[in-house]
Amino acid sequence: MGKFGRFIHEAVDGTNRSVTGAFSVNNRHDIVTGSGRFAGSLDGIVLRLTNINQATKLVVKICHNSNGTGIVIPDTEAVIALEVGSNTEGGVAYQFDFKHVHTDDNFSIFYRTDAGTCTVDVVELYWSE
């Protein structure tokens, strides 16, 4: 019997990545969805930020390759929301509804700020099939 309904998945990486005003191949998160061949919908990303210093917006780009090629989701900007009582910790969330099929299940997420710096210390990538 075939699948019925929608199956939602999450991949989490808690490796700290320093972010500046330029995309860098050295400051990215590599996510493998574990399906071998990706066929589904990229639904969104939630990022936890620390060490926020003058940054007010964060831009993400999702690619298939760790060198920044094979763009899947182009530059997408979100305003950084600060945690209550903090000027240096916060987060951003991005919502997509992007149907996508590819020969592998590797995604590299790149970041840049509008000004200043911050650290992405947790990334949660959501997708569905």
Per-residue pLDDT tens for 39-92?
Answer: 889 999 999 999 999 999 999 999 999 999 999 999 999 999 999 999 999 999
53 membership: H or E segment, kind and range: strand 38-53
Pairing of strands 38-53, 81-82: unpaired
Average pLDDT, the chain: 93
Q: By mean pLDDT, which of 13-22, 27-36, 109-118 is the weakest?
A: 27-36
pLDDT of residue 2: 55
Enumerate the domain spans of the chain: 8-86
Summarize the confidence of residues 24-28 as an average pLDDT: 94
pLDDT of residue 37: 82
pLDDT of residue 1: 47
pLDDT of residue 39: 87
For residue 4, what pLDDT band results from cuts at 50, 70 and 90? low
Asked whether 89 and 33 are in contact (CB, 8 A), the reply is no
pLDDT of residue 33: 86
